Amino acid sequence: MCDDHLVGRVLTVRRVKELNVKDYFYQMLKDSPEIAKIHPGIENEIMEGAIDNHVHAFPDFVYRAQDMIEVAIDASKAKMRALAFKDHWNVSANAAYLAQRHLDHLVEEGALEHRVEIYGGAGTCHGMDPEYVRVALQYPNVKMIWFPTFTSKGFWRGAGQPDHEGVRLVDESTGTVLPEVKKIMEMATEKRVGIGLGHTDFVELLPLAKLAKEIGARCVLDHPLLELNKLLLDEMKQLADLGVFVGTYCQPMIPSIYQPVADPFETVKVVQEIGPERCVIASDFGQVMHVNSIDGMRIFVRALLGFGVKPKDVKTMIAQNPAKLMYLD
């Protein structure tokens, strides 16, 4: 096989070989001397006040590694500011409200020292129904609307199945955002709620980003470095130039069973090229074969520091920018 053959959208066979040579670990230490300074706890100060806007926890449609209360307790011990629990399909704000009540009780009783704000939102995999979103926005603790993920037309197109039925966000003939999607974006903006743009492709993301800029919606690209909705650097730059935050999440920098072949340095390059002021850190963890969500955030922060990202820039991406996204600024 030719070394220039692509594995996914950007990773080449040559790069895979470089990442898997027997002395790669020592090469990495040589190329990234800051790694030698990393130790458990170096992330503690950065974690204080952090916000994770994209956490998967039980209850959900599949098992998760932890439930909302367990994640919230971990976040409290880390002195984080806030969490937002994602559900691909349904409203998560109701369970988030109950988790908040329980966490507050633990703080009042002295079992925990630090209060964390716990939010949820609404997933739209069932379809872009403005009435569903209108009702969801009446729930307490709603701070995110997540656009379709595994049901989106753009996801199936990116998966090489363009004829597969999926939830459309953009009119394919005109390239304009569909009226129901525009209505949902307007409602989210009016209610001061952030938008995760889901697993769709650049064909839909570009008109969505242009509309978001026009109406003042605050949006983030959900893990655009994961192969399931991979974007090229130039595509991310175009969307960031329109005001959309770029989600630099634990995946795929932390390799896993879910995406075992990845280049951890790609995340660092995206932060450098896009700029930390336009990136958002989140875990996107909670899957049963990952480390727990807050532990993932800790490892991710250590990795960014070890690969040369400055502490103040990590703080911008993990605290200030997600606060802006969710109107907590």
Question: pLDDT in tens for each of the 329 residues of the chain?
Answer: 688 899 889 999 999 999 999 888 888 888 888 888 999 999 999 999 999 999 999 999 999 999 999 999 999 999 999 999 999 999 999 999 999 999 999 999 999 999 999 999 999 999 999 999 999 999 999 999 999 999 999 999 988 899 999 999 999 999 999 999 999 999 999 999 999 999 999 999 999 999 999 999 999 999 999 998 999 999 999 999 999 999 999 999 997 888 888 898 999 999 999 999 999 999 999 999 999 999 999 999 999 999 999 999 999 999 999 999 999 99
Q: How far, in Å, CA of 164 to CA of 324, rounded?
A: 36
Which residue matches tokens 């363009």? 162
Name the residue type at position 1. Answer: M
Q: How far, in Å, CA of 253 to CA of 299, rounded?
A: 10
Q: What's the confidence (pLDDT) of residue 1?
A: 65
Longest dimension (CA), the chain: 63
Q: What's the confidence (pLDDT) of residue 256?
A: 84
Instruction: Transcribe 208-228 into DSSP letters.
Output: HHHHHHHHT--EEES-TTSGG
- Domains of the chain by start residue, with CATH: 47-325 (3.20.20.140)
- Cβ neighbours, 10 Å, residue 23: 8
Q: What's the confidence (pLDDT) of residue 59?
A: 94
Q: Global pTM?
A: 0.96
